Structure 1
Amino acid sequence: MLCVGRFFAPDGCSDALMPYLTSEKRISVPTYFITGDEDPGKGSTSLVDDIQDGGEVCKNLTFLGRAGAKRLPCGLSVAYLSGAYKPDKYALDAAFAGRRNAKTLAPHYISSDVDEIVRAARGGEDGEENEEFSLAGVDVLLTAEWGEKFDALLPDTMSHPLASATEDNLSPAVTRLATEVAARYHVAGTEGAYFAPPPYRNALHATRFYGLGKVGNAAGAKSLVAVAVTPTAQLALDAARTGARDGGDACTP
C-alpha cells in the first residue's frame, strides 16, 4: 500500500498508531508513506524525525523519506516527494533552509529535493547510469500535492474538481516532476478531492494521475484506488524499448 498527503495528525497525536508501534496490532500489508506539510513544532513528525532519508516506523510501515527514487521489495519503482511547496523556501539551498543537522523533518521541500528526484529517477537509486530506469522510467510517482496547471488534463466533458476550493495548494515543483519523471502512475493527496483524468503522454509511455481525497472525509470523496501494476523490473528491456519507440502504453489499469 502507498499513502500520500498528510500522513500524521495535525495536533501531533499518534494514538491511532500506538497499538501498531507497541505490536499490540499488526499492519497486514507492507505500507509505504510520504508526509505533507505536517507541523514539526507540534510533534507531528516525531516518528520520522530520526529517519528523514527513510526507514521503518514499525513492522510493515515504512517512511519512504524526504525525496528520491527507489525500488521496493515487491519490485515496484517509486519516486517520491514529501512536504509542501512554499515559494520563499523553495529557492533556498539546504544550509539556508535549515536542513543542515536539522532535528525535525521540514514541512516544505526545496528545489534541490526536486533535482534529486529527477536525477535518481533517470539514473537509478545510486546515481549511476541505469539503463532500466532510463528506458522504462518509474512505476509510481508519489507527491503530497497536485501539480500546478493540472487542469490542462481536463477533458471538456469533465467538471473542475477544485471549483469550490477555498485555497490554492497546487505546486509548480510537482508539475516539473510530472513532466520530467516518466512515471506510469502519479498519485497525490492534500486537495481533498478525487480526480482521475484520462492518461497523458510522457517521454516514454503514459501516466495515469489519481488525486485522492482525505481518508474518512465528510464529502465522500474517494480516498483509495486499487491498480494492478507489473513492475518495470519484470518487463524485458526489449519490451520497454519497443513501447518507448512505438508510443505504447505500459500502464495496466
Structure 2
Amino acid sequence: MPPAGRLGAVPASVGAPSLGEQAQANINGLNVAFLDGTYNHPIFTGSKQASSQSGSCPYYTKEDVEWLKAQLQALQGEVDVLLTCEWPRGITTGIEGPLPLPQNFRPDASGSDVVSELVDLARPRYHIAGGEVIHYTRPPFFHRDLGAGIRVTRFVGLAPQGHPSKAKALHALSLVPAANMEPEALSVVPEGCTPSPFELRKAKQDQEEMAPPAAIAGPRKPLRAVQAVVVKASPWRDAGSVWAPRRRTRSWWRALGRRCTWQWTRVLL
C-alpha cells in the first residue's frame, strides 16, 4: 500500500504513459500538458540547485516552465487537459456569492502564479490540479479570443488519495479531442461561465499601478488648510500684509526665521 497522499506505481500492463517532469503529449488524440513539481523561489530563480525529494513532488525550474510554455504556444488553445501539482493563484476571482470552501482556506493566498500563467497561456478545456487537501470544482470560465476563438476552462482541484477527510481524489472525464471538434463548438460559452480569473486579476493590478499615489494613499489634506495654519502664526500678519511685510531690523528677521521654522515643523508632523 502506498503512503497516504501518494499514488502507487501503475502496473506496466495498464499501458499508462509516463509524461515526465514537464511535457505536452498526444494521448489517444487528446492533447495533454503536464507540469510536475511545486514552486520554490530559490530554485526557480537559480540561486539554489534543485535536488530530488523522496515522497513528494520535486521543484520545477524556470527552464522547465519556459520549455512547456513554448510547447503550449504552438497549440494555440487546443489543449484538452492540463495537469499540475499546484492550484493556480486566484482561481476563485470573479465568482459571486459564498464559496464551497473551508473558512480557513484562502485561494488568493494559495497556489502558484506560475501555474496561473500556464493556464492563461494554454487555455485548456480542463485543468486538474492537486496540492491541496480539499476537492473543489470551479464554475467554468472563458478566455478572450486571441485569434483562434474563445476558449472555456473547467478547473477541478483534487484532494490527496487516502486523506482522512475522504475528499474526492479522482475525477473521470469523457472527452472528444479538441482536434476533432469544430471551432464553433470549442467557443461555446456555457451558462454560469465567468470571465477568466487571471485576466481579472491582471486588469486589477494594472489599474492599481496606473492609479496616482493620492488614490492609493487616500485623500490628502486641502492645501488651503495648511496655508491657513502658517499664515495665522506668521509674524507677517502683524504688518498688515501677509506677502509684503514692512522693513524690519536684522534681529526681527532672525526671530521670524525661528518662528516660521517651528510652525512648518508642526504642520509637517
Asked if Structure 1 and Structure 2 have the same fold, meaning a TM-score greater than 0.5 normalized by the shorter chain, the answer is yes
| TM-score, normalised via structure 1 length | 0.61
Find the residue that maps to 1:80 and give its secondary structure: strand
- Letter of the 1:117 counterpart: L
In structure 2, the partner of 1:163 is 104
- Check the 8 A contact 1:162/1:193 in 2, yes or no: no
- Check the 8 A contact 1:80/1:142 in 2, yes or no: yes
Find the residue that maps to 1:64 and give its secondary structure: coil
2:89 & 2:164 partners in 1: Cα distance? 25
Find the residue that maps to 1:183 and give its secondary structure: coil
2:39 to 85, 97, 115: 85
Task: Pick closer, same or farther for the CA change 1:170–1:70 going to 2, 3 Å.
Answer: same
- Letter of the 1:67 counterpart: Q
Total equivalences in the alignment: 180
2:130 to 181, 189, 194: 189
- Check the 8 A contact 2:87/2:112 in 1, yes or no: yes
Give the structure with the higher percent helix.
2
Identity of aligned residues (%): 25
Task: Pick closer, same or farther for the CA change 1:164–1:183 going to 2, 3 Å.
Answer: closer
- Letter of the 1:109 counterpart: Y
**Larger Rg computed on CA atoms:** 2
1:213 to 159, 177, 180: 159
Segments ≥4 residues shifted beyond 6 Å: 102-106
1:107 to 58, 66, 79: 58
Find the residue that maps to 1:187 and give its secondary structure: strand
Unaligned runs of 5+ in 2: 145-149, 191-269
Deviations 1:138-184 (A, max 9, x none): 0001000101122315431323347258xx75211111111111100
RMSD: 3.2
In structure 1, the partner of 2:18 is 63
Task: Pick closer, same or farther for the CA change 1:108–1:169 going to 2, 3 Å.
Answer: farther
Task: Pick closer, same or farther for the CA change 1:161–1:227 going to 2, 3 Å.
Answer: farther
- Check the 8 A contact 1:151/1:160 in 2, yes or no: no
Task: Pick closer, same or farther for the CA change 1:147–1:219 going to 2, 3 Å.
Answer: same
Unaligned runs of 5+ in 1: 1-7, 28-59, 124-132
Deviations 1:22-63 (A, max 9, x none): xxxx43xxxxxxxxxxxxxxxxxxxxxxxxxxxxxxxx2332
- Check the 8 A contact 1:161/1:195 in 2, yes or no: no
Matched, 1:75 2:62: no
Task: Pick closer, same or farther for the CA change 1:103–1:159 going to 2, 3 Å.
Answer: closer
Task: Pick closer, same or farther for the CA change 1:196–1:104 going to 2, 3 Å.
Answer: closer
1:154 & 1:210 partners in 2: Cα distance? 15
